[in-house]
């Protein structure tokens, strides 16, 4: 089928093209789309070069599906135009996530909500995706009451300028303010702010995790509080998650449950010092879970450590898994 990738020249757009090829999605024609300044540039897909076309030409090519990764403003303007032309849109921005008329989907958790009526489908925030993949099987078994999450997020979540900033600083280069993705140095530093601050003192990223978790897991009773932090790594996002359940759990049973869950890999061996790390999650599609242990200060509460490649499962792979589900169900 014809597939358009909108924002094809960006970090996530490039990863979408890579993952489409690796997962052998049935692409008959790839249509790379980007802003006017990128039209005419070339991108690589399956060993071939393709010229980037404009937003209008992307619609005219009549793809069956368009995977958007071009920012919220672009999505708000163009996703409805693609949808009006009968093109299924899977959007990576925050533009549609909390729109009550749009589905917010992580296939391992809630793919079944998708129907033939859905023409704009929202891809959740990267840090939310990996957390809910690990939480869903536990919620089904033990019922989650409250989640406290602190994230340790890769600079790749900000984009190419952030990656360049990290390695330029690591090489001892002096950068001007307009060359920096962050207000402060990121190398040898930790920045406890992702996105802008809101009136309640939380950042926009933190509130995304709070609201999106309940929508994806279809349970507004789950209480979530978050602190999101940027760290100088490139392999993926990590999360320290404290989960309080309504029902008691056996740790061995819980670990086995996670090991059988779709998309989850348990890495748990204290004696061997074996646990999830971005170093190992890089370029993989799974969500890695470890450091599973009881919170000894509170009943029915678990501590866990969750790691995933934010450009893959946190963005490109999740979007493509949605497309795979639509194809398997005959929706596209």
First and final CA of the chain: distance in angstroms?
9
In angstroms, the CA 155 to CA 112 distance is: 33
Only one residue has tokens 């074996």, namely 274
In angstroms, the CA 152 to CA 232 distance is: 9
Give the number of other CB atoms < 10 A from CB of residue 188.
Answer: 8
**Residue 257 corresponds to which tokens in the numbers above?**
């449950």
Contact assessment for residue 6 and residue 301, using Cβ atoms and an 8 Å cutoff:
no
Give the number of other CB atoms < 10 A from CB of residue 307.
Answer: 29
> To 5 degrees, how large is the angle CA 291–CA 125–CA 249?
35
Long-range pairs, 19-24, Cβ under 8 A, ≥24: 19/285, 19/312, 19/316, 19/317, 19/320, 20/45, 20/320, 21/45, 21/46, 23/317, 23/320, 23/324
The active-site residue out of 126, 139, 214, 282 is 126
Sequence-ordered alpha helix ranges (H) in the chain: 11-22, 55-60, 72-84, 107-110, 126-142, 160-170, 204-216, 251-260, 278-281, 317-328
Is 237 one of the annotated active-site residues of the chain?
Answer: yes
The active-site residue out of 24, 139, 237, 282 is 237
Strand order in the sheet with 287-294: 223-227, 144-152, 237-245, 301-308, 287-294, 264-266
In angstroms, the CA 33 to CA 14 distance is: 11
Q: What are phi and psi of 214, to 5 degrees?
A: -65, -40
Is 126 one of the annotated active-site residues of the chain?
Answer: yes
Known catalytic residues are 126, 237
């Amino acid at each position: 089928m014809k597939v358009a990738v909108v924002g094809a020249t960006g970090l996530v757009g490039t990863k979408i093209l890579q993952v489409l090829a690796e997962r052998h999605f049935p692409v008959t024609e790839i249509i790379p789309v980007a802003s006017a300044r990128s039209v005419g540039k070339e991108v690589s897909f399956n060993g071939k070069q393709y010229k980037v076309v404009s937003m209008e030409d992307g619609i005219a090519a009549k793809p069956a599906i368009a995977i958007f990764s071009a920012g919220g403003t672009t999505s708000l303007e163009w996703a409805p135009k693609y949808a009006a032309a009968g093109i299924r849109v899977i959007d990576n921005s925050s533009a549609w996530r909390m729109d009550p008329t749009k589905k917010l989907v992580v296939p391992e958790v809630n793919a079944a909500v998708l129907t033939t009526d859905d023409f704009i489908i929202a891809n959740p925030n990267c840090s939310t995706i990996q957390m809910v993949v690990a939480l869903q099987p536990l919620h089904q078994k033990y019922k989650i009451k409250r989640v406290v999450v602190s994230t340790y997020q890769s600079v790749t979540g900000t984009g190419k300028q952030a990656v360049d900033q990290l390695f330029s600083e690591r090489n001892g280069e002096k950068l001007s303010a307009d060359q920096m993705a962050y207000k402060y140095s990121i190398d040898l530093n930790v920045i406890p702010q992702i996105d802008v601050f809101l009136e309640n003192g939380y950042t926009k990223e933190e509130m995304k995790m709070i609201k999106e978790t309940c929508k994806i897991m279809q349970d507004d009773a789950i209480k979530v509080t978050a602190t999101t932090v940027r760290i100088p790594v490139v392999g993926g996002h990590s999360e320290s998650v404290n989960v309080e359940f309504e029902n008691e759990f056996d740790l061995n049973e819980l670990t086995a449950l996670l090991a059988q869950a779709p998309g989850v890999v348990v890495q748990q061996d204290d004696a061997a010092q074996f646990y999830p790390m971005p170093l190992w999650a890089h370029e993989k599609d799974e969500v890695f879970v470890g450091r599973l242990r009881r919170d000894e200060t509170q009943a029915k509460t678990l501590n866990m450590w969750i790691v995933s490649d934010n450009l893959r499962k946190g963005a490109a792979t999740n979007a493509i898994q949605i497309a795979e589900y639509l194809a398997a169900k005959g929706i596209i």
